Structure 1
Amino acid sequence: VPMDGMEVVATGRLTTYPGRSKYQMVVERMELAGQGALLKMLEDRRQRLMEEGLFEASRKRPLPFLPRVIGVVTSPTGAVIRDILHRLAERFPRHVLLWPVLVQGEGAANQVAAAIRGFNALPAGGTVPRPDVLIVARGGGSLEDLMAFNEEVVVRAAAESRIPLISAVGHETDTTLIDFASDLRAPTPTAAAEKAVPVRAELLATVAEAGARMVGAAQRGLEERRSRLGHTFRAIPNPRRVIEDCARRLDDRAERLGNAPRILLERRRAEMETLAARLRHPRERLAEGGHKLTTLAARLDHALKSALATERSALEKHALRLEQSGNRLIQVMPRLLADRRQRLDHVGQLLESFSYRKVLERGYAVIRDGHGLPVTSATEAKPGAALVVEFADGKTGIRVEGSPPPPAPKPHRKPGTPDGRQGSLL
């Protein structure tokens, strides 16, 4: 069905209505104007279906390992069905149900979708067995030939299929929208048959190899158990020999038990004699303790006297040193105080001589602005500004009138001040 905005090439009969200037075209055949427009339409459709979630990986179902019944949706004639049947017969013959459909042209898409839904509608355990896996296949062709498998009805039927579905449309380079909705895409119909069933010969070989390994393991286990049983049997002692050994040990224990009281008494007597030899009379121990105490008292008295003598000598030395230091301090202190007083008087005289008030007494004055900051340049004395002039005997307020005078020429340096600094005012 053409969509709005689609460019097509239509073939048909053109008729007119006389007197009305109307034209009517009866379209007999219609096709898209170019492959680019067709690809754009397919891409838009793919994006829309993908946004609906039809291509989500979570919807994919795993294929059964060994299906009993395989449903095939394809044309009943042609090489596709023959290739699938031949490949299945080679690998692992299975029961195949063919649902014949058109694979191109008008009505092909509806037939393919109906076949997929029809297989899914078969009841389990019915007269017609329900397939375990589906193969939707077609041979190669142009983009227009494969359009039936790009139709939305086919894609939705594949996505809704509860039976795992393999798509095998075209060659390996061909891609249709059913490939995105199917559970597995095969590049060719033959490859679809290979993915549907394993190789029977390989399975038989694997089973035979596993059986051989199991038989070998069982035989080795049996031999190992037989060998361990033989070792265990040989390790069991002779009952008569065991009884004789027990009787011999019993006689030995009885003989030892008869001599045990005498031996124990002799051992205890020897221990008591040893302990008696170690014991001493209390008077001897008291006398020894008194002697040790007297010795310790004498040593303690000597140590105390020695420590007192050492401390007394140290105190006498410190007292002598302190007395000598006091005498030296008494001798030096008057001279030190006189020197410090003389230096303080000298510094006071210098401070008094450098005071700006001494300069004011010589006829100079200090001019300050309203903030109390000195005015050091004529350019700072603006006309109308209120200033304060400080003389040696007091202050007075003035107001600047007229324009400021031009700056005075820079005075020449005096020979005595090569560095340009002011000389002493004293």
Structure 2
Amino acid sequence: MKRDYTHISTEELLQDDFFISSIINPTEETQIFWERRLADGNIDPEVFREARNILLSLNRAPHRTDVPEERIEKLWERIEDSVNGVRPASRRTPAAKRWMWPAALVASAACIAVAIILRPLTGPDNGTTTINGTDVRTLAHTEDTNYIKLVLGEKVVEMPGDEARVDYSRNGLTINEQEIAGQDREQGKLNLLAVPYGKRSTLILADSSRLWINAGTKVIYPEKFAGDRREIYVDGEVYGEIAHNLAWPFVIKTKRAGIEVLGTTLNVNAYEKEEELSVVLVGGKVAVTNAKGRKSELAPNQMYFSSGEHDYITAVDVEEYVSWKDGNYKFRNEKIATIVKRLSKYYNINIVADLSTSGLTCSGELILKDELIRVLDVICNTAQIQYTWDSEKRTYMLHR
């Protein structure tokens, strides 16, 4: 029976049958239940978060959680005392490596324990490439085309034009406002949206989270989210407005890092073929865990940046990083080489800046729907440089 959780402690919550069931085998009803209690203040958010993370850590070993190991150990000792009256001899085993439940929890949720053992969960996490047990890299290596492409299992839909809108938020699937017949959503089934260079798309996921997908980007995601977390994989750049649900975290996985978000607006730039990764937080809360397991939390108007072995957090003007979703490119004191690198993706043509421009920076705003020649004219007039076209290499070269 569902109880009053207003003044419940972490250890009491960990002995609550309904809580255990709803975290291990979440349903839409239980997710709404906890979301409402968190929103109404009928449960302490820190108590809920800590109990949830400890519960999930039981079968995530050796993956890390954001709850200190000493805290987990002390809580389990107190729970074991209250359940068994004595402490088992094995209680000194590090909490992160526990694979056994206190006896009362096993008795009240035996079927849940079996489900966990059969399907161990992964951490939130350090850039792993699996969703629902599937290695997404097998999907990501789809053949590149000049069309925006949606891969639905054995079915492939190619979309002409420079932009597309794919929407899973209704009962079925719609592409550019047209419903795709016979496409019933399956829980956990992975789809791939591949956006080639020179194109852009909008993707509305099953939970109503909205992604703006930049040129040269692939996104892998479930048709319908399953499990305790909403997980997607990104190779490229996306701007996201993530549906708020404290009880159901949203995780963006990339090759180099995992990004856990809670009702967040952010921009992620993580092209697999490039060394750099950046996460810019517009609003909300986000935590980035790098490949070594180090976790960094961002505040709004901050950017997490990593390249090779180095990473840092810095304050930024978010408009410079997210304006592309509205068809603009804003920049301030940006290197010419960086500007043309981004333009190469937007326009799907090779543009380079030679060494004579290496010390030059530029500030301004470009309209990405303009013809490329007009955009290059604006840059060159501002920076007092020139460009030439190499027809053999099919490359624009910017130089002094």
Higher strand share goes to which structure? 2
Structure whose alpha-carbon radius of gyration is higher:
1
The answer, yes or no, to whether TM exceeds 0.5 is: no
Which protein is richer in helix relative to its size? Answer: 1
Q: What TM-score, normalized to structure 1?
A: 0.23
Name the TM-score, length of structure 2 as normaliser: 0.24
